Amino acid sequence: MNNNLQRSWLIVPASSADAVAKAAKSGADVVVLDLVELVRDAQKPAAREQCRAAMDAVRACGAQVFAQIDPQHHEADLRASVWPGLDGIVVSRAESPARIMAIDKVLTALETERGMPAGAIGMVLALETARGNQDAYEVASASRRVRALTLGRADLVMDLRPEPSGEIHQMPYLMERLVIIARALNVTPLGAWWRAPDRGLLATAENTLQAAKRGRAVGFKGALCLRADQVEPLNKIYA
């Protein structure tokens, strides 16, 4: 496996050893160990505890490992996930430059504390809120660690509806804007052009292929996904 590619980013709950083991063998270029969206609050302490072992399981299969963290609980999430071997973090609902700077600081401290090269941990920002999108350029400029931008689940977070056309209203605007901002900052735009209802857990290999084709044509260079069967079409289209 070419370890530099970042075509497919498969998100799995860090708390589920089974899901992590499956993701590790899925062929995904990057496995994202989630501590935010797919983990219930009650399970978060357990998910954090399992994070390091999950990371080792993924690395053993050759994929890159990122951890998705909650900017509201960034200290706990970063302490749980930043270990030698981690490639980066995904910041969900990123919206404040100050918070990104704070996260950057914690990363620097942890890199020193845990014997990792300075600046080794990269950042992907998921701009899922109106505020995050409004201030996207400033948020993404807040740390030199930022390597990629995605809209994550902006349609759900911002309640953007697909009725009646299937095109998710305002997403084309946000996607095209994100691509421009990412290129202006020389970071990678991640995403695919989804149409309802083919997204999230309703995605199939076929509709992922179509969403990725549209995504590639507007400037995205890779995409996040939730299901192992989406990996192959993403790897194919974002080659």
Partner 1 sequence: MSLLVRRSNLLVALGAAGNAGDTGAVANAWRHNADAITLDLTGNNFTRETVQAAITSAAKGGAEVFVRVNKASLQTDLDAAIGPGLCGIMLPCVESAAEVSQAGQLVAALEKQRRLAAGSLQFILGIESARGVWDIRPIIKASPRVTQAALDERALAADLGITPLPELDPFDYARGRLAVETTAAKVAAVGMAYPLSVQPRELPEAELHELATKAKNLGMKGVICHHASWVAPVNAAFTPTPELVEWNRRVRVAFAEGVAAGTAAVPLDGKMIDVPVDEWAIVVLAMAEACARRDAQKKVALRTA
Answer for the pair 131, 98: CB distance below 8 angstroms, yes or no: no
Give me the helix-helix angle, 17-24 and 44-60, nearest 10°: 20
Give the tokens for residue 125: 């920002």
Phi, psi of 32 (to 5 degrees): -105, 115
| Residue with Cβ nearer partner 1 (56 or 138) | 138
CB of 219 to partner 1, least distance (A): 4
| C-alpha to C-alpha distance for 86 and 105, rounded to whole angstroms | 17
| Residue with Cβ nearer partner 1 (59 or 213) | 213
| Residue with Cβ nearer partner 1 (74 or 199) | 199
CB of 217 to partner 1, least distance (A): 4
| Residue with Cβ nearer partner 1 (67 or 181) | 181
Where would I find the beta strands (DSSP E) of the chain?
8-13, 30-34, 64-69, 88-91, 122-126, 146-150, 188-190, 223-225
CB of 1 to partner 1, least distance (A): 23
CB of 151 to partner 1, least distance (A): 13
CB of 184 to partner 1, least distance (A): 4
CB of 218 to partner 1, least distance (A): 4
Among residues 202, 194, 104, 186, the alpha carbon closest in space to that of 152 is found at 194
| Residue with Cβ nearer partner 1 (181 or 234) | 181
| Residue with Cβ nearer partner 1 (7 or 52) | 7
| Interface ranges with partner 1 (CB under 8 A) | 137, 172-173, 176-177, 179-184, 193, 213-214, 216-219, 221
Burial 141-165 (b: 16+ CB within 10 A, else e): bbbebbbbbbbbbbbebbeeebeee
Answer for the pair 207, 182: CB distance below 8 angstroms, yes or no: no
